[in-house]
Amino acid sequence: MEVRLEGITKNFGSVQILKEVNLVFPSRKFVTLLGPSGCGKTTLLRMIAGLEEITAGQIVFGDRVVNRLAPKDRNIAMVFQSYALYPQMSVRKNLGYGLRVRGTVSADVDAAVERVAKILEIDHLLDRKPGQLSGGQRQRVALGRAMVRKPDIFLMDEPLSNLDAKLRVTMRSELRRFHLDLNATTVYVTHDQLEAMTMSDLVAVMHQGVVQQFGTPAEVYSRPANRFVAGFIGSPPMNFLTAARRGNEAEAGGGVLSLPPLSDDATKAETVVIGVRPQDLEIVPVSGNDRLKGKVSLIELLGSEKLVEVDFVGVRVLVQVRADFPVKEQSEVFVHFNPDRLHVFEAESGQSIVKRATL
């Protein structure tokens, strides 16, 4: 089912928490609301669920405005960060609880529980109590409890944040698989950009109650609409260099760099911020076009890669190279800034001014 948010605004007292959010979540897609803590993700999700009043705007499921519909009439399922299973009930009873209280006949409850337990690969655990399960297994039971009702829309608020790092990685791919089996529109909330990038069909990047960009993971990564999105997505984070622009060149770090083609309305931007990812920079042995001379101040081994910190005049950047790349601390190097890999933002507004073909 398609979910449309039209001009959604939320005030708590006199404070505006969400500002005119306009988003369309296509039917059956996995959509993520991504942003730092406090940007309004949970509030927006709770409004979709019907748990939070809407100050202004409309929420539409399919062709039906649901603003006034009670949560139980929205055919949604929710999994929150802190989920509580009934400790005295078996996994089977926990999974079927939501259906039983709605008066579903027991043969249908059993069938639904079996179906979901199979998808989640917890069918061998059905007769255990929650206390006899690992954290990851309990998390799957919580997911299963939400899935048994065949919801149209599946809402998840940071469901992996209580799990340890290794289990989170496994659960990412499992959640993606569940989504493909479940066939519901999924709205997933996280502050973890890697989670968003790996699981989603579409990502809405939020900051201070405003949607900054809505696109596929590839779009928000390679064509960030502004400096906030550019800095929030990707690890290690993008390098930023303030630069004085002259035409299609810019002075930064004690040298001159060629810029990518800029949009037509960018001619007035004299001070720009150049963004470049550590993975997109290259350390080269000799001077040349689009190369800045610098000094290696620090090297950090990451495993198969290493991060090289290079100091230029007035600015410092991180360059990511393979672990076996020959480079020494304190040595002088040249760093190549390939214009095709550069992002350019207007200094004041932070908006991207790069002209790029659509992906």
Ligand X SMILES: Nc1ncnc2c1ncn2[C@@H]1O[C@H](COP(=O)(O)OP(=O)(O)O)[C@@H](O)[C@H]1O
Nearest distance from C-beta of residue 12 to ligand X, angstroms: 3
The DSSP annotation for 197-210 comes to: HHH-SEEEEEETTE
- Residue among 32 and 352 whose Cβ is closer to ligand X: 32
Token representation of residue 75: 């055919």
- Virtual CA dihedral for 39, 44, 45, 47, nearest 10 degrees? 150
Q: Which of residues 210-249 bind ligand X (CB under 6 A)?
A: none
* Per-residue mark of binding to ligand X, 257-296 (x: CB under 6 A): ----------------------------------------
* Binder of residue 343, out of Mg ion, ligand X, none (CB less than 5 to 8 A by kind): none
* Binder of residue 39, out of ligand X, Mg ion, none (CB less than 5 to 8 A by kind): ligand X
Token representation of residue 121: 């690969």
Nearest distance from C-beta of residue 31 to ligand X, angstroms: 15
* Per-residue mark of binding to ligand X, 30-69 (x: CB under 6 A): -----x-xxxxxxx--------------------------
- Residue among 11 and 81 whose Cβ is closer to Mg ion: 81
* Binder of residue 71, out of Mg ion, ligand X, none (CB less than 5 to 8 A by kind): none
Residue 330 interacts with ligand X (CB under 6 A): yes or no? no
Distance separating alpha carbons of residues 4 and 19, to the nearest angstrom? 15
Q: Which span sits near Mg ion by CB under 5 A: 36-44, 219-227, 258-266, 334-342?
A: 36-44
H or E stretch at 239: strand 239-246
How many residues at the interface with ligand X, by CB under 6 A? 10
Q: Do 253 and 294 touch, CB atoms closer than 8 A?
A: yes
* Binder of residue 234, out of Mg ion, ligand X, none (CB less than 5 to 8 A by kind): none
Task: Tell which one of 3, 40, 42, 238 touches Mg ion (CB under 5 A).
Answer: 42
- Residue among 61 and 80 whose Cβ is closer to ligand X: 80
**C-alpha to C-alpha distances, 185 to 139, 199, 333, nearest whole angstrom:** 20, 13, 50
Task: Tell which one of 5, 8, 17, 182 touches ligand X (CB under 6 A).
Answer: 17
- Residue among 157 and 280 whose Cβ is closer to Mg ion: 157
Token representation of residue 348: 């004041």
The residue number with the shortest CB distance to Mg ion is 42
The DSSP annotation for 113-147 comes to: HHHHHHHTT-GGGTTS-GGGS-HHHHHHHHHHHHH
- The residue among 48, 40, 33, 36 whose CA lies nearest residue 12 is 40
Q: Do 244 and 250 touch, CB atoms closer than 8 A?
A: yes
**C-alpha to C-alpha distances, 64 to 4, 22, 55, 57, 60, nearest whole angstrom:** 10, 16, 19, 14, 5
Residue in this structure with the two tokens 């539409």, named with its chain if needed: 60
Distance separating alpha carbons of residues 214 and 9, to the nearest angstrom? 17
Nearest distance from C-beta of residue 17 to ligand X, angstroms: 4
* Binder of residue 38, out of ligand X, Mg ion, none (CB less than 5 to 8 A by kind): ligand X
- Residue among 43 and 104 whose Cβ is closer to Mg ion: 43
What is the binding site for ligand X (CB under 6 A)?
12, 17, 35, 37-43
What is the binding site for Mg ion (CB under 5 A)?
42
